[in-house]
């Protein structure tokens, strides 16, 4: 197979000339193709067959031990003008970057098959969807892209018609971390990634395209590409609100999107539309709508069990690719927090010895089709997307941030998102548990200068349709007590907080004005049936004025890093918080 599109054909030819593959395979996305690739990977050892009685069609992939997470220090945004990439990105001059990375691609596919993967991010018939082509020498990437995107013939047809697509070139290279780069050229709609086979670095439709390149396109075209889950909350009365929520990597998006209502909230129904990325547009009526550009989940495995998230647990019992989990004696996948079974081999395939670190890698992942989710919403395939009632920002904060608060309005909400911070996790290489600013959970993913990004958010909310904008909230499931224990039970119980949020969207309950925003009255947040004393809820809903003054100072210094490009409106919003904190202090 090949293509009728001359520019695509030329690009594929050019790449083949550079990388020198033994053969070229155009992916059509069929079952037969997938089966053949899996067979070949079982032979080569790229995949290991899991226990097919307990886990039909499940496979394990072990990545190179140095290649288990995103590499932010090796990820670059290469714009002509350095300022356009901003202090939030590593930057390299595009000419220099191409020269450097093309050197690593030269001959990189010798002896290997080069796969050409046409894919569509978003429902194939959606005007909001965008296409791309990934060229890779990794069959693991092909089978994962097939789960994560609408991949194959239908996408190619759209690409040939539109003649506009993101070009992504990927090779696992020699997996040497010193020859590993993830480079983005937003002005050329081009991605080049070499030296890593890990999801976030290698499945180019995901972070590289649907966030870094798409956020650039979104600013030019007037929409938003965000690190957000997308879910529907149906009340017992039958009203459904759609909510988009931005939490940093490994901070609870998949789990919230697949939430199982607690026994104390009968009649509530949750629908998942997406677990990681949302593309948001204001429609002609001024309504903010969202689609999920992905068609699968690349989710964190550890911590998943029947109790924390029965939906996720059930979903990954079949037709799932596991990466870097441990194995039991009878070849079942095992991970920390599974709560049954015993690991005998760790994620590297070595005999497991307790005390020698976790059996599964903390960033071990599952890849699975979204359609396997028991609470999958078919509206995830609706070309027009769903209307958004509320946007949530949140992170891991062991202190300072209360369980939930509401922004005063859109502009204040943009400050809440811009100023948010979270503890780092195993999703990226580097130290864990360090609090860092992570505006809108996009620190690793915004493909341009954060200052311009904040301006874009403010502009989107400043039009004639401001009254239809969703409300913005901040949540924190991760407050800890003095003994380092989580104070809020989290998971299904988070619906108690979401109910308050939908109550606020419907104007059903008043809220308490505080310097940082609007907080629930204690009687409006139902904790009945929870093993929690009222003083804990008190703490979860309290604001420590001293800590918040420090927080405001820290946010102010953070904005300073972005210099004169920071929108003055954002600084005004921050001054407003500072003033209200002073007034509360004086009173």
Ligand X SMILES: O=C([O-])CC(=O)C(=O)O
Among Mn ion, ligand X, ligand GTP, none, partner that 576 touches (CB below 5 to 8 angstroms by kind):
none
Contacts of 268 (CB under 8 A, 6+ apart): 233, 234, 235, 236, 261, 495, 499
Q: Residue 493 annotated as binding?
A: yes
**Residues that bind ligand GTP in the complex, under the rule CB under 6 A:** 247, 249-255, 275-276, 299-300, 302-303, 308, 427, 477, 486, 490-491, 494
Q: Per CB under 5 A, does 423 bind Mn ion?
A: no
In this complex, which beta carbon is closest to ligand X, that of residue 61 or of residue 207? 207
Closest by Cα among 306, 318, 316 to 275: 316
Q: Residue 251 annotated as binding?
A: yes
In this complex, which beta carbon is closest to Mn ion, that of residue 67 or of residue 84? 67
Q: Residue 276 annotated as binding?
A: yes
Q: Residue 364 annotated as binding?
A: yes
| Residue 366 Cβ vs ligand X, minimum distance, rounded to whole Å | 11
| Residue 206 Cβ vs Mn ion, minimum distance, rounded to whole Å | 8
Element (DSSP H or E) covering residue 393: strand 390-394
In this complex, which beta carbon is closest to Mn ion, that of residue 27 or of residue 427? 427
Among Mn ion, ligand X, ligand GTP, none, partner that 566 touches (CB below 5 to 8 angstroms by kind):
none
Q: How far apart are the first and last CA of the chain?
A: 75
In this complex, which beta carbon is closest to ligand GTP, that of residue 487 or of residue 581? 487
Judge whether 59 and 48 are in contact, CB under 8 Å. yes
Q: Residue 249 annotated as binding?
A: yes
In this complex, which beta carbon is closest to ligand GTP, that of residue 201 or of residue 255? 255
Q: Residue 28 annotated as binding?
A: no
| Residue 201 Cβ vs Mn ion, minimum distance, rounded to whole Å | 13
Single residue of 72, 226, 276, 452 touching Mn ion by CB under 5 A: 276
Q: Residue 467 annotated as binding?
A: no
Among ligand X, Mn ion, ligand GTP, none, partner that 247 touches (CB below 5 to 8 angstroms by kind):
ligand GTP
In this complex, which beta carbon is closest to Mn ion, that of residue 101 or of residue 391? 391
The dihedral through the CA atoms of 300, 478, 474, 547 has a sign that is: negative
| Residue 442 Cβ vs ligand X, minimum distance, rounded to whole Å | 10
The residue assigned the tokens 């901070």 is 251
Among ligand GTP, Mn ion, ligand X, none, partner that 251 touches (CB below 5 to 8 angstroms by kind):
ligand GTP
9-12 contacts, C-beta under 8 A, 24 or more apart: 11/133, 11/167, 12/116, 12/135
Among Mn ion, ligand X, ligand GTP, none, partner that 320 touches (CB below 5 to 8 angstroms by kind):
none
Task: State the Cα torsion 97-121-502-516 to the nearest 10°.
Answer: 10
DSSP 381: G
**Residue 431 structure tokens:** 């130290």
User: Residue of minimal CB distance from ligand X?
Assistant: 200
Closest by Cα among 504, 491, 517 to 241: 504
| Residue 82 Cβ vs ligand GTP, minimum distance, rounded to whole Å | 28
User: Residue of minimal CB distance from Mn ion?
Assistant: 276
For residue 574, the number of C-alpha atoms closer than 13 Å in the C-beta half-sphere is 23
Judge whether 149 and 120 are in contact, CB under 8 Å. yes
**Residues that bind ligand X in the complex, under the rule CB under 6 A:** 70, 199-200, 206-207, 249, 276, 298, 427
Task: State the Cα torsion 401-404-410-411 to the nearest 10°.
Answer: -20
In this complex, which beta carbon is closest to ligand GTP, that of residue 335 or of residue 410? 335
Q: Residue 255 annotated as binding?
A: yes
| Residue 275 Cβ vs ligand X, minimum distance, rounded to whole Å | 8
Task: State the Cα torsion 496-501-503-507 to the nearest 10°.
Answer: 160
Among ligand GTP, Mn ion, ligand X, none, partner that 397 touches (CB below 5 to 8 angstroms by kind):
none
| Residue 69 Cβ vs ligand X, minimum distance, rounded to whole Å | 7
Of 120, 208, 251, 505, the catalytic one is 251
Binding mask 307-346 for Mn ion (x = CB under 5 A): ----------------------------------------
Q: Which stretch binds Mn ion (CB under 5 A): 49-57, 260-268, 276-284, 321-329?
A: 276-284
Contacts of 430 (CB under 8 A, 6+ apart): 72, 73, 424
Closest by Cα among 371, 7, 55 to 167: 7
3-class DSSP state of 5: coil
From CA 171, how far away is CA 581, in angstroms rounded? 52
Judge whether 176 and 154 are in contact, CB under 8 Å. no
From CA 57, how far away is CA 317, in angstroms rounded? 9
Backbone torsion region of residue 385, taken as left when φ is above 0, otherwise alpha when ψ lies between -120 and 50, otherwise beta:
left
Q: Is 251 a catalytic residue?
A: yes
**Residue 330 structure tokens:** 């009878």
Q: Where is the binding site for substrate, in residues?
A: 70, 198-200, 249, 363-365
> Interface residues with Mn ion (CB under 5 A)?
249, 276
Which positions are catalytic?
A: 251
């Amino acid at each position: 197979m090949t293509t009728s599109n001359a520019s695509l054909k030329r690009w594929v030819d050019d790449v083949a000339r550079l990388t020198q593959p033994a053969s070229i395979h155009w992916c059509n996305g069929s079952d037969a193709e997938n089966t053949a690739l899996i067979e070949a990977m079982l032979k080569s050892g790229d995949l290991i067959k899991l226990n097919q009685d307990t886990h039909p069609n499940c496979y394990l992939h072990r990545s190179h031990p140095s290649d288990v997470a995103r590499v932010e220090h090796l990820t670059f945004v290469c714009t002509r003008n350095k300022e356009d990439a901003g202090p939030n990105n590593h930057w390299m001059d595009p000419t220099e970057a191409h020269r450097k990375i093309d050197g690593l691609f030269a001959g990189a596919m010798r002896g290997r098959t080069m796969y050409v993967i046409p894919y569509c991010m978003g429902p194939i018939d959606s005007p909001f969807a965008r296409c791309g082509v990934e060229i890779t020498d990794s069959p693991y990437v092909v089978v994962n892209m097939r789960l994560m995107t609408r991949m194959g013939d239908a996408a190619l047809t759209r690409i040939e018609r539109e003649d506009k697509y993101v070009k992504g070139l990927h090779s696992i290279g020699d997996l040497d971390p010193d020859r590993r780069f993830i480079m983005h050229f937003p002005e050329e709609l081009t991605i080049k990634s070499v030296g890593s086979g890990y999801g976030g670095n290698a499945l180019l439709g995901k972070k590289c395209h649907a966030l870094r390149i798409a956020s650039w396109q979104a600013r030019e075209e007037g929409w938003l590409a965000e690190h957000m889950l997308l879910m529907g909350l149906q009340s017992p009365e039958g009203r459904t609100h759609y909510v988009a929520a931005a939490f940093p990597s490994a901070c609870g998006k998949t789990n919230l999107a697949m939430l199982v209502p607690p026994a104390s909230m009968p009649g509530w129904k949750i629908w998942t539309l997406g677990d990681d990325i949302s593309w948001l547009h204001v429609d002609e009526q001024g309504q903010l709508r969202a689609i999920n550009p992905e068609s699968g989940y690349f989710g964190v495995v550890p911590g998943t069990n029947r109790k924390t998230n029965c939906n996720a647990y059930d979903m990954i019992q079949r037709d799932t690719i596991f990466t870097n989990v441990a194995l039991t004696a009878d070849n079942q996948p095992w991970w920390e927090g599974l709560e049954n079974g015993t690991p005998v081999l760790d994620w590297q395939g070595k005999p497991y010895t307790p005390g020698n670190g976790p059996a599964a890698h903390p960033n071990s992942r599952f890849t699975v089709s979204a359609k396997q989710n028991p609470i999958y919403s078919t509206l995830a395939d609706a070309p027009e997307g769903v209307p958004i009632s509320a946007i949530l920002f949140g992170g891991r904060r062991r202190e300072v941030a209360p369980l939930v608060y509401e922004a005063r309005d859109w502009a204040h909400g943009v400050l809440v998102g811009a100023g948010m911070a979270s503890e780092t996790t195993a999703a990226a290489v580097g130290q864990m548990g360090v609090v860092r600013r992570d505006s809108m959970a996009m620190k690793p993913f915004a493909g341009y200068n954060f200052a311009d990004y904040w301006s874009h958010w403010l502009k989107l909310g400043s039009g004639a349709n401001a009254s239809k904008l969703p409300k913005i909230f901040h949540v924190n499931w991760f407050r800890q007590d003095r003994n380092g224990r989580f104070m809020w039970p989290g998971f299904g119980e988070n619906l108690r907080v979401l109910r308050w949020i939908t109550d606020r969207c419907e104007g059903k309950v008043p809220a308490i004005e505080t310097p940082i925003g609007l907080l629930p009255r204690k009687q409006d947040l139902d904790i009945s049936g929870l093993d929690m004393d009222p003083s804990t809820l008190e703490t979860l809903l309290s604001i420590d004025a001293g800590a918040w003054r420090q927080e405001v100072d820290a946010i102010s210094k953070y904005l300073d890093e972005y210099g004169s490009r920071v929108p003055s409106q954002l600084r005004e919003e921050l001054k407003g918080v500072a003033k209200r904190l002073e007034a509360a202090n004086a009173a």
